[in-house]
Structure 1
Amino acid sequence: MPVSVSGRLASDAAPAAEDEIAAYVSAFGAPEVVEVLLPDTSGVLRGKWIPGPAMGKIWSDGVAIPLSIFGLDVWGCEVEATEIHLETGDKDGLCWPVPGTLRPVPWSPRPTAQVLLTMHEPDGTARGKPWLLDPRQQLAAIVDRFAARGLFPCVAFELEFYLLKGDAAPGAMPEPVFPITGQARQNMYSMSDLDAFAGVLHDMRSACSLQGLPADTVISEAAPGQFEVNLYHRVDALGAADDAILLRRLIDGVARRHGLRATFMAKPLVDFAGNGMHVHVSLMDQAGDNLFARPSGEGDRALRHAAAGLLSTMADATLFFVPSFNGYRRLVPGSYAPTSITWGFDNRSVAVRVPNGPPKARRLEHRIAGAEAHPHLVLAAILAGMLEGLEAGIEPPAPLVGNGYENEAPSLSPSMAEAVARFSSSPFIAKAFGEEYRRVYGVMKAEELAAFSRVILPLEYDTYL
């Protein structure tokens, strides 16, 4: 596939708004409501409902949303330490539609459309300048660095989730929906489990088709009621991350229509596997050929440098991959989630895996992120790490053979506290994302950690009361 534009332009070179709106109305009819969606720093969707007849204004005028939306914690509360709220007058940003994301919402009871937004900061021009506290703009900037080198990331996300009973009280222990046998047991790649949930899973696939999301394989995962949906590779890093955000919303929406609840929580059940978000990345050149497949050792050398960059920056970037207090419960030995900074060939116990396959499909699979992580930030950190390795020509340690849980490699951060400290002092993060982004994200996660530290667990009462 020839690639001739920069990464930012590949996603953001918009057709005329009238064309996109006309194509939507022709295919699906006029919507009563348009849901404008802006993923915040935690990947939580914020936004508004716009009346269908006024949808043209979304493209012509933009949508005003406070710049400080990227200073909200995971609960949606202002984090004053970010200093981007009332200290700045809480000014509005200007949000513009992401081209190609105007899509129907088939799980809505009324004719509804949705469109993804990205934030700009007003600067006296018509559209404003990219607001770099928006994770999508951070990813766009890193993709542009690859484009300047004549390289274009080819990306695919894999997303794991559980289906739970939908009638649980808020804050209650989640109760999984067990398949046909009713037994709580591991049943990897089970066809009977797929059959048991065929109704909701087929509706998810149909919704993906209607929305143009490039869904590929659906499998029953390592635990009862756990599934994985894979997205096809795209030579469009921004579009691939957009798809991952929208796929989570789709899975949640369809599950609710079936009276179920989908969760992407990294470790919802103590005795079963957690939910991961694996990311596959290769690099294409201007001719559409895979850099990692070049002959005469050039491809192998580039693959090693990219892997080495991921390993050398992994500890600093862990807070992007595992942004939640709960997420560190997933990183335990024997869980198929990595616990050490390792790489290897066709080895699912390492952090960075080189899957088997033909040379033209050679790629790196990054296996650390939890399913609740922000796809744009996860991918931005992965690409920034790969670029670090390629630019510096770093060589990795020998690829690990055998059980990745039994090695002497450095461990991943075992706790959110350590990840916050490492992130907040990282020169790599400041270089790749800017000192201001490092500061804002770091203080937000430090305050989330403090909130969890103030909670007394039921086990403490059972033990000490």
Structure 2
Amino acid sequence: MPLPDAANRSAAAASETAPADEFGSYVAAHGAPEIVEVLLPDTHGVLRGKWIPGTAGGKIWGDGVAIPLSIFGLDIWGREVEETGIHIETGDRDGICRPVPGTLTPVPWSPRPAAQVMLSMYEPDARGGETPWELDPRHKLAHQVARLAALGLHPCVAFELEFYLLKPAAGPDGVPQPVFAASSTGPARQNMYSMSDLDAYAPLLHDIREAARIQGLPADTVISEAAPGQYEVNLYHRRDAMAAADDAILLRRLIDGVARKHGLRASFMAKPFLEFAGSGMHVHVSLTDEEGGNAFGSGEAGDTLLKNCAAGLLDTMADTAVLYVPSYNGFRRLVPGSYAPTGISWGYDNRSVAVRVPNGPPKARRLEHRIAGADAHPHLVLAAILAGMLEGIEKQLAPPAPLVGNAYEASSPLLTYDMGEAIRRFAASDFVARAFGPEYRRVFAIMKEAELAAFERRINPLEYETYL
């Protein structure tokens, strides 16, 4: 069997039931792996799972993989958040995890023969069947995709991921150190879109592209970004929203694995350096009709649909901000002038707004959502985007006038800089309850409240320097 390419993965991922012979076909093509790494993204996008011996790999497609349902009640540090009520209080029951079709691939950076496959969680029922586990973010995205399909619309999606390459050890002050090209003239230089920075780490960047090819991830452009050691990898658009989100979460793992093989670290932290740009996850979304044409590009009707979707995104943005910016650190990224949006705004070919309509021909007309940090969960980010677009379509919302010029100087409503306020807005949102379900809203808010409390209980070094 040939290595899965973008088209094959997209078709395979359309079904949540993997072919029974998928593992056998893999072994025939690549030989038996020593281990199969089964990957289950948790609520925060952290990959959890198991190593399963290659000799038992075929059972993954038959019996599934037993993992506690409560894995979606772990905090960012992997600790149980007891306030969710889904841990020992329930007996800590197992869910059954099924492989996501098309995600069984080699692990090129592994020192020994290894394969990996992504999982999705299901809850056993009393009749011996299974239902999607309501706390698995993958099912939240599937629900929005199904809602759009009922309207005859299908998302076409591309993710862009920014990240920093860091030295393996922190500096004397404990702060991570970005890598610099040999032509660096000092830590303050940006060297945006520099070819010399690409050349300096060409072996690593080429290995990233090659690993993406082997794994069937549709990596497109690689650029040097707006800070020393910062890069961006763009994924080519997918006509399968689920596969696009899978690609994004697997690309983060791939970049991390290849960087470690080269003796460096890759960080998707949203704002690792106060003096440099943060790292974002930009999401490009268009809608196609049943014939595969761009529904945004068809004259007046397409223009109205695009504006409905933009209006829905703006209308729901404050309620869903903590899905786009899920970390304490991520709110530091929302700084005026940083190309990270600070206002609830939209516009044409304007990188200072939250929702941008890029230039391009009608067949490529799309919305670019620019809020999410690189550390956000791709499935939750895309689910919130699609739910917001649906809100605009169903309510026939109209957006305000598009912003022209510097959005940081406009009078648009502001996104909150406060994680606590974002959590409270999410927890009280009727829209979130309708789109994600009241139980998901409850559990997610509790976990983020616990995370925020952990940071607020920590005394930072400046307090000691000032008051001790």
TM-score category by the smaller chain? over 0.9
Q: What pairs up with 1:242-261 in 2 under 5 angstroms?
A: 242-261=246-265
Q: 1:9 to 1:106 in 2, by over 3 A?
A: closer
1:268-300 CA-to-partner distances (Å, cap 9, x unmatched) read: 0111000000000000111001110112x0000
1:225 to 229, 239, 243: 229
Letter in 1 for 2:247: D
1:94–1:127 contact (8 Å) kept in structure 2: no
1:317–1:381 contact (8 Å) kept in structure 2: yes
1:162–1:263 contact (8 Å) kept in structure 2: yes
Q: What pairs up with 1:189-228 in 2 under 5 angstroms?
A: 189-228=193-232
Deviation at 1:84, TM superposition (A): 0.3
Counterpart in the other structure of 1:385: 388
2:37–2:115 contact (8 Å) kept in structure 1: yes
SS at match of 1:292: coil
State the distance in 2 between where 1:368 and 1:158 align.
12
Counterpart in the other structure of 2:84: 82
Counterpart in the other structure of 1:326: 329
Counterpart in the other structure of 2:5: none
Q: What pairs up with 1:174-323 in 2 under 5 angstroms?
A: 174-182=176-184, 183-184=186-187, 185-295=189-299, 297-323=300-326
- Where structure 1 has 5 or more consecutive residues not aligned to the other structure, the ranges are 1-6
State the distance in 2 between where 1:126 and 1:150 align.
34
1:8–1:140 contact (8 Å) kept in structure 2: no
Counterpart in the other structure of 1:444: 447
Counterpart in the other structure of 2:415: 412
2:297–2:363 contact (8 Å) kept in structure 1: yes
Deviation at 1:17, TM superposition (A): 2.3
1:288-335 CA-to-partner distances (Å, cap 9, x unmatched) read: 01110112x000000000000000000000000000000000000000
Counterpart in the other structure of 1:137: 139
SS at match of 1:55: helix
Q: 1:72 to 1:359 in 2, by over 3 A?
A: same
Which moved further from structure 2: 175-184 or 420-429? 175-184
SS at match of 1:25: helix
- Where structure 2 has 5 or more consecutive residues not aligned to the other structure, the ranges are 1-9
Letter in 1 for 2:205: L
Q: Tell me how many residue pairs correspond in the alignment.
A: 457
SS at match of 1:401: coil
Which moved further from structure 2: 117-126 or 278-287? 117-126
Deviation at 1:132, TM superposition (A): 1.1
Letter in 2 for 1:434: G
Counterpart in the other structure of 2:4: none
Deviation at 1:9, TM superposition (A): 8.9
State the distance in 2 between where 1:383 and 1:67 align.
26
Q: 1:436 to 1:8 in 2, by over 3 A?
A: farther
Same amino acid, percent of matched pairs: 70
TM-score norm. by structure 1 comes to 0.96
TM-score norm. by structure 2 comes to 0.96
2:282–2:371 contact (8 Å) kept in structure 1: yes
Deviation at 1:437, TM superposition (A): 0.4
1:103 aligns to 2:105 (yes or no): yes
State the distance in 2 between where 1:215 and 1:33 align.
26
2:68–2:92 contact (8 Å) kept in structure 1: yes
State the distance in 1 between where 2:425 and 2:379 align.
20
SS at match of 2:407: coil
